[in-house]
Amino acid sequence: MCPPALIPFRPRNPKTRLSALLSLEEREQFARAMLEDVKAAVKDAMCSPVLVCTELFDSDDVQVTVTDTDLNGTLNGILPDSIGPTLIIMADLPLADTAAVRRMISTEKDVAIAPGRGGGTNAIFMKEPRRFHVDYYGTSFLKHMKIAQEAGLSVDVVDSFRLHTDIDEPWDLAELLIHGTGKSRAFLESLGFILSAEKGRVGVERVR
Amino acid sequence: MCPPALIPFRPRNPKTRLSALLSLEEREQFARAMLEDVKAAVKDAMCSPVLVCTELFDSDDVQVTVTDTDLNGTLNGILPDSIGPTLIIMADLPLADTAAVRRMISTEKDVAIAPGRGGGTNAIFMKEPRRFHVDYYGTSFLKHMKIAQEAGLSVDVVDSFRLHTDIDEPWDLAELLIHGTGKSRAFLESLGFILSAEKGRVGVERVR
């Protein structure tokens, strides 16, 4: 089984909440490095990455390019045509590893959901994507639980901090420097980011 | 196998970072409700809770009462006398469930560690506690990885957002309202806390 893994990705001006720490060019490179880490985890778990990009993106990956930026409309346009099990996974999960992706796709339930912090949804695996639709933004985790329930689909909530930890805010970078092993951690380190302890809570600082 | 689960607990004036939302009495009740949730998860996983309290605490649980507040000194005084596999788990993990605790205690490695956010350590399971010692505070996760390595002990990093999510800050309460199922969630709801969406990110508000 090599299910497709749809990975929404925004190549231009991504991760604006990191603007205080990273320049536009650095944010674009960082987003791409995180994407590479997610792709590596997904491929090692025997899934086939399919980038869902807001614009044409220079890569060798299979791509779906969409002109509008409505993630829900885009994905819900793709799912009804999906003929087999399908994974959707966010591109900003550089801690994702093969084991976590395998736990998603080996679920015994109809749907597996990996919640993100603050009620988000970081990954969804659907055995029958035609019977599901997505509703991102806000407390999408609760919305997806309800969508599954209303469709009569059983759900496995995958308990993984590696899939729970999306990188959005400056303090999230500490998680990457602690637990990351891939390209995005190396990229941060190449820019001079290190862990710093401030009043007990660990953060990051940029030393060059 | 019924390994002891050491649960450090501070009955008086706990969770001071929630002071803006909860009175002293409410914080003490909330901390106790979280402890009850952790104990329930631990007991369901066939572990025997042992409270490690900074003062005598009115409960039916097995207790170790310590007069000093040095968590490391306290636990490192206990571990050399532990004759079998031992779990240490924090009391502020109300999302912890039986499955997550089982993953800890069923590890094939010598030690299982569940990291907390920001480099903390939320749970440690040691098959041979005499060969390990703890070093909490700061990036304790990295310190514990090093301690295990230096002792020649293999380590399983348990990938669980339920064990990763300690409740310290006001925005952590949202995680409890989204994913909690036990007494501490019910307590928050009884106080009038509900989820609120503010600028895309989900928080909590207190409606009475």
B160 neighbourhood in chain A, CB within 8 Å: 159-161
Kindly state the tokens that stand for B108.
């094939």
Contact B193, B205 (CB under 8 A): yes
pLDDT at A15: 96
Q: Which residues of A touch B (CB under 8 A)?
A: 97, 99-100, 115, 117-119, 137-139, 141-142, 159-165, 171, 174-175, 178-179, 195, 197, 200-203
Confidence (pLDDT) at B139:
92
Radius of gyration of chain B (CA): 17
Closest to A85 in 3D by CA, of A124, A44, A30: A124
Does residue A202 contact residue A195 with C-beta atoms inside 8 Å?
Answer: yes
Residue of A nearest to B168 (CA): A201
- Nearest-neighbour CA in chain B from A125: distance (Å): 18
- Residues of chain B predicted below pLDDT 70: 1, 67-69, 198-201
3-state secondary structure A27-70: HHHHHHHHHHHHHHHHHHCCCEEEEEECCCCCCCCEEEECCCCC
Distance from CA of B85 to the nearest CA of A (A): 24
Q: Residue for token digits 């800890």?
A: B104
A97-132: burial string, b at 16+ Cβ within 10 Å, e else: beebbebbbebeebbbbbbbbbbbbbbbbbbbbebb
State the pLDDT at residue B64: 79
Contacts with A159 (C-beta within 8 Å, 6 or more apart), sequence order: B97, B99, B100, B159, B160, B161, B162
A82-132: per-residue pLDDT in tens?
889 999 999 999 999 999 999 999 999 999 999 999 999 999 999 999 999
Which residues in chain A are contacts of B203 at CB distance < 8 A? 118
Query: Which amino acid does the sequence have at A188?
Result: L
Rounded Cα distance, B96 and B91, in Å: 10
The tens digit of pLDDT for each residue in A149-195 reads 999 999 999 999 999 999 999 989 999 999 999 999 999 999 999 99
Distance CA A67, CA A150 (A): 31
Quick one: pLDDT band at residue A2, thresholds 50, 70, 90? confident
**A49: amino acid identity, one letter:** P
A139: nearest CB among B163, B171, B178: B178
Interface with A, mutate which of B95, B164, B169 (most A CBs under 10 A): B164
Q: How close is the nearest chain A Cα to the Cα of B60, in Å?
A: 31
Sort residue A137 into left (φ over 0), alpha (ψ -120 to 50) or beta: left
* H or E segment and range at residue B188: helix B183-190
Rounded-to-integer distance, Cα A134 and Cα B154, Å? 41
pLDDT of residue A55: 77
Q: What is the DSSP string of chain A?
A: ---EEEEEE--SS--GGGTTTS-HHHHHHHHHHHHHHHHHHHHHTT-EEEEEESS---SSSEEEE-SS--HHHHHHHHGGG--S-EEEE-S--TT--HHHHHHHHT-SSSEEEEEPGGG-EEEEEESSGGG-----SSSHHHHHHHHHHHTT--EEE---HHHH----STTHHHHHHHH--SHHHHHHHHTTEEEEEETTEEEEEE--
- Comparing CB atoms, the residue among B138, B159, B197 nearest residue A202 is B138
Closest CA to A7 of A54, A46, A73: A54
Question: Cα separation of B79 and B22, whole Å?
Answer: 35
Dihedral sign (CA A161, A162, A163, A164):
positive
Exposure pattern of B31-45 as b/e (b: 16+ CB <10 Å)? Answer: bbbbbbbbbbbbeeb
Chain A neighbors of B200, CB-CB under 8 A:
137-138
- Cβ–Cβ gap B178/A141 under 8 Å: yes
Q: Which chain A residues contact residue B16 at CB under 8 A?
A: none
- The pLDDT value recorded for residue A1 is 66
pLDDT of amino acid A59: 77
- Selected for mutation to probe chain B from A136, A168, A202, A205 (highest B CB count within 10 Å) is A202
Give the pLDDT confidence of A26-82 residue by residue, as tens digits: 999 999 999 999 999 999 999 999 999 877 777 778 877 776 668 898 899 889 888
Which phi and psi (to 5°) does residue A145 adopt?
-65, -40
